[in-house]
Amino acid sequence: MLGFTYIRDSWRELRKVTWPSFRESLRLTAAVIVFSVIFGAIIAVVDFGLDKVFRQILLK
């Protein structure tokens, strides 16, 4: 009985949610992709730089 109550209450709460429009969803998804690529590139550059530094230090 507890599981049914949980599912029923969850369904009621989901019906109260204000969902974004399709256009807003696309815009927000594009923003997430752009920021992910930017931060991924930053991490890759830092990783490459630290790799070069540590190789110079450790291989001397």
Sign of the torsion formed by the C-alpha atoms of 15, 16, 22 and 25: negative
Q: Can you give the pTM of this predicted structure?
A: 0.66
What pLDDT sits at residue 41? Answer: 99
CA dihedral angle for residue 22, residue 28, residue 32, residue 33, rounded to 10 degrees: 50
pLDDT (tens digit per residue) in 8-56: 999 999 999 999 999 999 999 999 999 999 999 999 999 999 999 999 9
